[in-house]
Amino acid sequence: VVRCVQCALAFRRRKSLISTDVATLLTSVEETPEPIPTVIKGNIPSWINGSFLRNGPGKFEFGESRFNHWFDGMALMHRFHICDGQVTYSSRFLRSDSYVQNLEKNRIVVSEFGTLAMPDPCKNIFAQFFSRFQIPKATDNAGVNFVKYKGDFYVSTETNYMRKIDPQSLETKEKVDWTKYIAVNAATAHPHYDREGATYNLGNSYGRQGYFYNIIHVPRGEGGTDGADLNGAKILCSIPAASSRKPSYYHSFALSENYVIFIEQPIKLDLLKFMLYRVLGKGFHEVMSWEPQLETVFHVVDRRTGQTRYYTNAMFTLHQINAYEDNGYLIMDMCCGEDGSVIGNFTLENLKAAGEEMDKFYSSLCTILPWRYVLPLEVKEEEPNDQNLINLPNTTATAMKTTTGVFCTHENLYNHDLLEYGGLEFPQINYTHYNARPYRYFYACGFGHVFGDSLLKMDLEGKKLKVWRHPGLFPSEPVFVPAPDAKDEDDGVVMSVVVTPRERKSSFLLVLDAKTFTELGRAEVPVDIPFGTHGLFNEMG
């Protein structure tokens, strides 16, 4: 019944999308390095004092060569500085080695996630041939997120490189290589922060002993140093891949007060193809495969003692909402789908389709929905098999002991009305006060289009939705900023950058009252802004 309802609602949504052209969301723009004023409509609360920092692709071609995948565009950093109810806007391209080299050659010379750089046409034919057998260096085009380590700001992607950033001027600073500090080949762009100021991340390593997923710990620091400082970083735990030849792709992980949770999902990277993908002329995304015959494994790592494994059906997740412990159980909420092939589908060719072709592409995407898993942290040997181990009230999630381990099924964290908005992604919570703790609210983008076209507030008490949606407007990931005198979890504002493809140079910073989810004000920007990925709010004293 649920699937029939999903199909009917999805069909209704798709019929309304055909006329919406989103190609302008993916058009290269110019940077705005000096802050410019914005036009304020409504009221921006005077207590907001800081900068909303955003990251994402902003340049999609060099000369005649064009990137193939949305993830490949050159990183463009954005800063909305808010003070006394006024807002200024600035942006800068990250001066990564990739950007500088592409610019100097006026063509793409550094390979990205979905784009393979072609051999230098100035080389002779033999040099061009043999260059295909060289494994490309990892890109430092850090266009996924703004992150913090020891109080300093960086931009990050999913390779071993980050770039330190001046959060005021957006000036590109030192290039940071994770491999100079710890034995990992890459790290995610979604670290977690605990209440003591330490940072956790997830990286990988591979060698003669196999392929490993590594939990990374970076101690707290005061920041403000001239250079990058990841000194003291260490690996807390190494988890061997189920298959060293075909490890899992991951984008993020979950953190509770005492546990780090890595989700080994059946999106597989074929390392043999990866070694040969330059020879085969394929992009990195083409060596990934969705293998739904495999189970998903939750690796739950106690930060002090060790790890435990739990299992569930094949599923796909990019972003987790929250995780916390409750009376001997680990509660884990995530945005999940049933088809992990979606990552490779976000090519610029697909995203720039129009009319029926866009409708067809959208129809092919799986709906991402919020799921809850409940994992029993202590399973006694005498527990009988095939009986539900979950005794918490108000959840339909199950966990059953089997001959091979503990098998979990999820609870849907939504009612049918969410399906009218196409599911959701880019979840955010009141992270400062409620990450790794019991919580009630989360915020996300609704996906009635291939890009988010609504903002949602989910109340987990009753799974009730509040919605901000206007036709033709495409909001970014919502970020919650708590009010200074907050008493309730949702006392504060939600910020989002809204892109307007139907009208150029009219995008704006939207500020919603988080409690009522109604608009307080907006700051209109007189320059074009492309659709971005992630960001954060940098509060200032």
Residue ranges of the binding site for Fe cation: 190, 251, 319, 534
The runs of H, that is alpha helices, within 370-512 are: 431-434
> For residue 367, what are the CA distances in angstroms to 10, 297, 362, 464?
9, 21, 10, 19
Q: Is residue 145 a contact partner of residue 534, using CB atoms and an 8 Å limit?
A: yes
Tell me the helices (H) and strands (E) count for the chain, helix number first: 7, 39
The runs of H, that is alpha helices, within 16-162 are: 97-105, 125-131
State phi, psi for 466 to the nearest 5 degrees.
Answer: -120, 145
Q: Please count the other Cβ atoms lying within 10 Å of the Cβ belonging to residue 95.
A: 15
- Residue 508: HSE in the Cβ half-sphere, 13 Å Cα cutoff: 18
Exposed/middle/buried for residue 526 (C-beta within 10 Å: 0-12, 13-18, 19+): middle
Q: Point out the annotated binding site.
A: 190, 251, 319, 534
Tokens standing for residue 333: 């909420």
Alpha-carbon distance of 242 to 239, in angstroms, equals 9
According to DSSP, residue 388 is labeled B
Q: Please count the other Cβ atoms lying within 10 Å of the Cβ belonging to residue 31.
A: 16
Alpha-carbon distance of 52 to 48, in angstroms, equals 10
Alpha-carbon distance of 300 to 308, in angstroms, equals 5
